[in-house]
Amino acid sequence: MYHNPVLLQESVNGLSIKENGIYVDATFGGGGHSKEILKRLGPKGKLFAFDQDEDALANAIDDPRFTLIQENFRYLRQFLKFYGILEVDGVLADFGVSSHQFDKAERGFSTRFNADLVMRMSRKGQLSAFEIVNSYDLESLVRVFKDYGELRSAYPMANAIIAARDKGPIRTTEDLKGILEPRLPKMKTNKILAQVYQAIRIEVNDEIQVLKSFLEQTVAVIKSKGRLSLISYHSLEDRLVKRLIRAGKFEGEAEKDFYGNVAVPFKKVGGRIVPSAEEIAVNNRSRSAKLRIAVKL
């Protein structure tokens, strides 16, 4: 299976789908969420899906109501306008790396395989993990590990990488693991390595800035009473989603009008939703997922 959709029913339920509405699946992947949305749409409904990964094109759905756009969701508003769509009834996104991407060794996303240091979500990307590991200075590496991996040991790990690359390029994921593993506590090796990989992947794909741009655009494209249904997997993503819903921005407090009333674009619907024990037993990769739902005011 390309990808087992996480929180499938819960996330699609969160859209409160109208039969003839217009919806966006911003992270198409294996198409699981899109197929469920299409089941609930009527003949006049429309679904636009985005995915920058060329491999996802093989999963395109043959349905006249469906359009797959091979682009990063940072271009959400631009491509909806191209198709003559100014507002939609709901947007769904699952920000996780797909099982296909983790399981395809040559992509370099997983600590389980040896692969070239790439970690690009799209082949069109310019930056690679190789460039980060081999050319970033100490300060830049520390920033990546600290900001995107939330690693307390960011400095010694960055220092170890710089010392090792003085002897020759660090070319593969195994090379990188070989440098870091001797310096990690055995009980936490896999967890810390996963955080390192996450940090490098986020930097390669500019994921935080892309996510911010996407979230800001949802404010503009979702119509009044439309829905936002977002699944995140780590605190960096979830924090941005939570702040957008709570304050309408990523830093500081919510804006207030002349009368002191809080002016925010969304209102949260329910609390944070996490996978059931049954779903985690079937799909262990869902264990860190968090779903937040909001309605546009």
Average pLDDT of each block of 10 consecutive residues along the chain (297 residues)?
A: 85 98 97 97 98 91 98 97 98 83 65 88 88 98 97 96 96 95 92 94 96 97 98 96 95 80 92 97 93 98
Q: What is the CATH number of domain 8-98+207-296?
A: 3.40.50.150
C-alpha span between 26 and 9 (Å, rounded) = 17
3-state secondary structure of 252: coil
Q: Closest Cα to residue 87, out of 211, 226, 241, 267?
A: 226
- Residue 90 bridge partners (DSSP): 23, 227
Asked if residue 185 lies in contact with residue 193, where contact means CB atoms within 8 angstroms, the answer is no
According to DSSP, the β-strands at 66-69 and 46-50 are parallel
Per-residue model confidence (pLDDT) at position 96: 84
pLDDT of residue 113: 82
Q: Which pLDDT does position 19 carry in this prediction? A: 97
CA dihedral 140, 142, 147, 150 (to 10 degrees): 160
Whole-model pTM over 0.85: yes
Q: What is the assigned CATH class of domain 128-205?
A: mainly alpha
Torsion of CA 22, 28, 33, 38, to 10 degrees: 40
Domain residue spans in the chain?
8-98+207-296, 128-205
pLDDT at position 105, please?
62
- Measured from the Cβ of residue 219, the count of other Cβ atoms closer than 10 Å reads 15
Which residues, at least 6 apart from 76, have a Cβ–Cβ distance to it below 8 Å? 24, 26, 50, 91, 214, 217, 218, 221
> What is the predicted pLDDT for the residue at 1?
59
- The pLDDT score that the predictor gives to residue 98 is 67
Tokens 């900001």 sit at which residue?
Answer: 147
* Nearest in space to 175 (alpha carbons), one of 154, 147, 144, 196: 196
